A and B are shown apart, each in its own frame.
Chain A
């Protein structure tokens, strides 16, 4: 009973308050009525039509009204990405963020409300900043460095050359892009898809084909970050589909049966020296790749030093996860249909497929070439050449699976990891070289 009284009291207080407030607001309306009195009689009867026009305006802002065929196509592609990631387990950590990003980026909207990723001031635009300015890739490399075990490479240094051989895919694609009429910086950025390394591809394309740089003839380069990143990541996810046929084509049954002797154990000292020496050597050769390789070897030193386990742990778990989420979503969202669906993107996708094929072939053929000089149990199984196209660790897994198909007791995974990580180093060096030539 008391509560009810209290409620009634509060309500009556509110009601009595209203005239006090109303006094001030009334004086305001006096002025405005003079202006609106002309339309007042119209307003009276058009209350319903006013409402309808409001609904109409709302409808014109919805996605249904603004949807274009391109948006729908891209949304379907996004859903396919998510499906591939979940159903077939093709790099789900990448495909699912990118797939959701593709959907987010292609929700139709009315321009000018700071919604889209390409509109200055929108939240997505700020997150995309890390892609455009090449901030995310070095951070990812830090995490990769803190994850990677270079010991199989240290145990068998000659496998490092396989990582170099696969970089022919980068330069082959570069030439192909030039033939198709892209100009030099754009071709350089497209070529790096052959490096099969997402962060490197984003890094290089954000430096060369970012839609800001000026060409010598005064025109700006096209913004190709979106298509290049999507091509690189989707072909990386498709490595288990692309590589096996090429492997079978270029190797004989006997070659696939070759068993390699197990790598020797590597001491902790060697593992600690490796990142420092490799950092010095590679960045002195190609200083432009410093952001990538510097971070990669820094991360590896954090892991191997044995004193900074906390930092290494953060770099390889939380930090790389956060950056992967941001990178995946924004790269996906950058595929806004009106910017993404162009002839150039289709050409880039074609070139990307070719670049993976060339890179795989380069690695395989060079492995066979090396076998000409090696004797006895030093011979290498040419299959591991295919993992020279970075795509860590998927291509090493593919090599392992192919090796098991030929001989169920031949475990190639440890051997394949060596050219695999060498491929990362190789493609970062290649990116640095292209950047120093064309940047």
Chain B
């Protein structure tokens, strides 16, 4: 199924695509922006209301998140945790011991039944 182009001039068609395309891209991302600016905090607030503890009153739940806890602080904490976990091996036991491995007897590895014993 091919759509029949009404516009014979390619450039006209191009301008139309330019305008509508830009509008749709902006519209789409604007919608996302608005949702995450207003819709999501509201949803989370509702969620908090639904799952609130039995002894908490609705007025005690604040709709805003803690403004002082910024992403920078979170990044600093996660870097610290990462570095801590990364450098844990420093306190390793430095004494290396080689434990002797004793093997169970098995006819499969027995020297008595080896092919080389039958030489003459």
Contact = CB atoms under 8 A, between A and B. Distances in A.
Contacts of A154: 36, 40
B35 A429 contact: no
A270 B71 contact: no
Nearest to A168: B22
Contact of B71 (A216, A265, A437): A265
Interface stretch (A23-31, A130-138, A178-186, A248-256): A178-186
B25 A164 contact: yes
Nearest to A414: B71
A90 B18 CA distance: 32
Contacts of A263: 70-72
Interface stretch (B5-13, B79-87, B90-98, B102-110): B5-13
Contact of B33 (A161, A175, A267): A161
A174 B18 contact: yes
Contacts of A399: none
A264 B65 contact: yes
B25 A433 contact: yes
Contacts of A153: 36
A285 B34 CA distance: 15
A429 B29 contact: yes
Q: Is the interface on chain B under 10, 10 to 19, 20 to 34, or 35 or more residues?
A: 35 or more
Contact of A281 (B14, B26, B28): B28
A385 to B, nearest CB: 14
Given A216-B2, A262-B72, A265-B71, A158 B33 contact: yes
Interface string B60-87: 0000011101111111000000000000
A414 B25 CA distance: 24
A249 B43 CA distance: 43
B30 interface: yes
Given A160-B33, A171-B21, A216-B2, A269 B44 contact: yes
A187 interface: yes
B24 interface: yes
Contact of A264 (B21, B47, B70): B70
A329 B67 CA distance: 48
Contacts of A269: 44, 47
10 contacts: A155-B71, A158-B37, A164-B29, A175-B11, A264-B67, A265-B69, A265-B70, A285-B27, A430-B21, A434-B17
Given A161-B33, A278-B32, A414-B75, 20 more contacts: A151-B71, A157-B33, A160-B29, A161-B30, A167-B22, A170-B21, A174-B17, A178-B10, A183-B10, A262-B72, A264-B69, A265-B70, A265-B73, A269-B44, A277-B35, A425-B29, A430-B21, A433-B21, A434-B17, A437-B17
